[in-house]
Amino acid sequence: MTRQSPSKTDFDPAVARSIIAEHVAEPGGLLAALNALQARFGYVDGELIAPLADAFNLSRAEVHGVISFYHDFRDRPPGRHVVRICQAEACQAMGSRGLTAHAKEVLGLDFGETNAGEGLTLEPVYCLGNCAAAPAVMIGETVHGRVDATRLDMLVAACRKGVRA
Amino acid sequence: MSTAVRVFIPRETTALSLGADEVAGAIMREAEARGSAVDIVRNGSRGAAWLEPLVEVETPDGRIAYGPVTTGEVPALFDAGFLAGGAHALRQGAADAIPWLAGQTRLTFARAGVTDPLSLADYEAHGGLAGLRTALEMAPAAIVAAVTESGLRGRGGAAFPTGIKWKTVLETEAARKYVVCNADEGDSGTFADRMLIECDPWLLIEGMVIAGLAVGAEEGVVFLRSEYPLARMIFTEALGRAREAGLLGADVLGSGRAFDIRLCLGAGAYICGEETSMLESLEGKRGEVRAKPPLPAVSGLFGCPSVINNVLTLAAVPFILAEGAEAYRDHGSGRSRGTTAFQLAGNIRRGGLYEAPFGLSLRTLVEEIGGGTASGRPLKAVQVGGPLGAYIPAAKLDIPLDYEAFAEAGAMLGHGGIVVFDDSADMGAQARYAMEFCAHESCGKCTPCRIGAVRGMEVLDRLRAGAEPEKNWRLLEDLLEVMEEGSLCAMGGLTPQPVKSVMTHFAGELRAK
Ligand SMILES: Cc1cc2nc3c(=O)[nH]c(=O)nc-3n(C[C@H](O)[C@H](O)[C@H](O)COP(=O)(O)O)c2cc1C
Ligand code: SF4
Ligand code: FES
């Protein structure tokens, strides 16, 4: 029942093309294709803009416009563990600003940055729907509630060791 | 021969975020070590987040609850004979009788935490599908009339009468129509849509099928935000099972009527909760807000007439059909009929989902039911209705929770999120955040919002730094007016609300200290 990060694989253009092909016939399939690509590789490689444009009969600028509109889409591979700290109000009320500062310091990362060696990426997120157990942090697809600095340190240590807390 | 004792352990995001899986593992191991037979059921959550993980044991006296359970307490619970309902410090008594739960009026969340969310049989055994069966015997216009008579208004924020919206879609002729469920739930401090989908997905499915019957649509789409992976997994599973059971598909419950539902995911953009932005997104485009008219009810998804409703709006419908419009309308206050799911969040002692009729006072909800702040420090302000909602100071909490009373107080109920702050909150920082969020999430279509929010951040920074206070205060006032008057949608139009509430009630915190 434990939810790990979906298993990401290294970017593979052939696999990417088959993912795109799966969504071409779907109404509004571009967003679904982008979501599927990101789920598979952790980001949407810039190399895919041309094939996406061809597949969905759009200009490259249009495809780029869609990708850049949505906050989820990354343009480079994240680390194995993506740590997302909620920045929204319920979490603010329970100390997320301090928690965020602490996380940036212990990870040595600003939002959007990755430490490739440790396989860690730090990102903001705006509400995880866990507002009654704030502050909330999501690592991979697992949400953690009432996270204070000590708990965050444990979660990060577990990521560094490659095991789950 | 002893039969296995049924133990309920929630599989719901908040319970899991507080260790429900680990507790389930510990109970399993401990039971094995002690040779006790247990049958673990992963139920949803009853919404008492402050008691999660809330473990329930089925006994001859009903389901006895223990919470909040930690893995460390598990051996002691076994020692105390919790499998037979034994006494322990964490024992909360019969789950149904926990005052925080017993005081609620659960029409929509009646089954949440009670049933196994993945079991359609369990759903039916607890009254599910009765509304749909009734609707299948009714003419579309009669279904719409029942929804109109119930007084149901949209739970997504704008509180528009649902029956009127449905009537427009019903009366617009088209070969294809859609029922679109808005599960974007972007408002901070809200989690009721997520809980409904995780804890009772069948109710949303049933509500959408009824909407389809009412307006003549055979296709449903649920737009779910990407931040809810567990809801995605549970709903995907439920859709598959619903098709297998013939609840969805070409022949809904053998009626000869067709309806199916597709699940689409968002990609992390708050504005996509606005209905026309959501439509753009569902069409695979940038989520830029569309100008209205045309109304989505006339020309919505792919240009087809579309019912767009929030999760909770659609989930209220089965009760209305099963029990009658009057049974629903009997609850509530003024023009706000029925119940709604209040979500107690932030710095609050007893947080969670509290379903109650409209009309309860905000103070009662926050201070008595919620127990005041979690920190034990004095309460400073409460933000109601998400990031575009006003901050209400502690002295002004005596407002009845209904749409009109809130509007009168210069606030809004929105999706029912209630976020509590204690006296350590810096209200100047909260006002700045409102602008920051708007700048971050603006779809960019109109200038007052796109540029205004950035300017708002700058002006607030200068004010808080003490630079030319009089001048910057006036500048801020002008800017807020421009945003309110000139924005195409409520993102730019309502961002001034939280800022103005800080200017009104916490003016001192917008000046340099
Ligand atoms: C900026 C913005 C964000 C919104 N976010 C949501 C949302 O997350 N969920 C939702 O149901 N409605 C949201 N709405 C309201 C929708 O536009 C729409 O009114 C609603 O989905 C209609 O359903 P209802 O009548 O059942 O409430 C938002 C509106 C605005 C302006
Ligand atoms: S107010 Fe903001 S979010 Fe709404 S349409 Fe204008 S730019 Fe887009
Ligand atoms: S505000 Fe942080 S989880 Fe909702």
Q: Which residues contact B369 (CB under 8 A, 6 or more apart)?
A: B100, B103, B344, B350, B354
Residues on chain A touching B228 (C-beta within 8 angstroms): 129
Which tens digit of pLDDT belongs to each residue from A92-130?
999 999 999 999 999 999 999 999 999 999 999 999 999
Q: Contact A71/B268, CB-based, under 8 Å?
A: yes
pLDDT at residue A162 in the model = 76
Q: Which CATH code fits A81-161?
A: 3.40.30.10
Q: Tell whether B52 lies on the interface with A, counting CB pairs under 8 A.
A: yes
Residue whose CA lies nearest to ligand 1 atom number 24: B154
HEC readout, B320-354:
HHHHCHHHHHCCEECCEECEEEEEEEECCCCCEEE
Q: Per-residue confidence at B162, pLDDT binned at 50, 70, 90?
A: very high
Pocket test for ligand 1, best of B194, B228, B271, B274 (most atoms within 8 A of CB): B274
Q: Contact A88/B228, CB-based, under 8 Å?
A: no
Q: B151: left (phi > 0), else alpha (psi -120 to 50), else beta?
A: left
Task: Give chain A's mean pLDDT.
Answer: 93
Identify the structural domains of chain B with CATH numbers, from first to last. Answer: 5-102 (3.40.30.10), 120-329 (3.40.50.11540), 332-422 (3.10.20.600), 427-510 (1.20.1440.230)
∠ CA B335-B338-B344, nearest 5°, is 105
Distance from C-alpha of A60 to C-alpha of B104, rounded to nearest angstrom: 53
Residues on chain A touching B21 (C-beta within 8 angstroms): 1-2
Q: Which protein residues touch ligand 1 with a CB less than 6 Å away?
A: B 154-158, 160, 182, 184-186, 271, 273-275, 308-310, 313, 489-491
Residue A4 in this model has a pLDDT that exceeds 50: no
Instruction: Give me the mean pLDDT over the A25-50 stretch.
Output: 96
Residue B372 in this model has a pLDDT that exceeds 90: yes
- Counting from 1 in the atom list of ligand 1, the atom nearest the Cα of B313 is 26
Supply the DSSP string of B364-387, one letter for each residue. IIIIIIS-S-SS-SPEEEEEESST
Cβ-Cβ pairs closer than 8 A, A with B, add up to: 166
The tally of CA atoms less than 13 A away on the side-chain side of residue B310 is 30
∠ CA B217-B221-B222, nearest 5°, is 140
| CB contact at 8 A, B248 and B209 | yes
Task: Indicate the helix (H) or strand (E) that contains A150.
Answer: helix A149-161
Distance from C-alpha of B129 to C-alpha of B318, rounded to nearest angstrom: 7
Model ipTM over 0.95: yes
Other beta carbons within 10 Å of A153: 13
For B492, the token pair is 């730019």
Ligand 2: centre distance to CA B492 (Å): 6
Q: Per-residue confidence at B512, pLDDT binned at 50, 70, 90?
A: confident
Q: Tell whether B473 lies on the interface with A, counting CB pairs under 8 A.
A: no
Whether A15 lines ligand 3, by a CB cut-off of 6 Å, is no
Ligand 2: centre distance to CA B196 (Å): 29
Q: Which protein residues touch ligand 2 with a CB less than 6 Å away?
A: B 271, 289, 442-446, 449-450, 487-489, 491-492
For B143, the token pair is 């279904």
Distance from C-alpha of B494 to C-alpha of B499, rounded to nearest angstrom: 9
Distance from C-alpha of B361 to C-alpha of B345, rounded to nearest angstrom: 16
Distance from C-alpha of B415 to C-alpha of B184, rounded to nearest angstrom: 12
Q: Contact A70/B417, CB-based, under 8 Å?
A: no
Residue A6 in this model has a pLDDT that exceeds 70: no
Of B50, B285, B419, the CB nearest to A93: B419
Distance from C-alpha of B339 to C-alpha of B3, rounded to nearest angstrom: 40
Q: Where are the domains of chain A?
A: 8-69, 81-161
**Percentage of chain B exceeding pLDDT 90:** 99
Q: Which residue has the tokens 């002690």?
A: B34
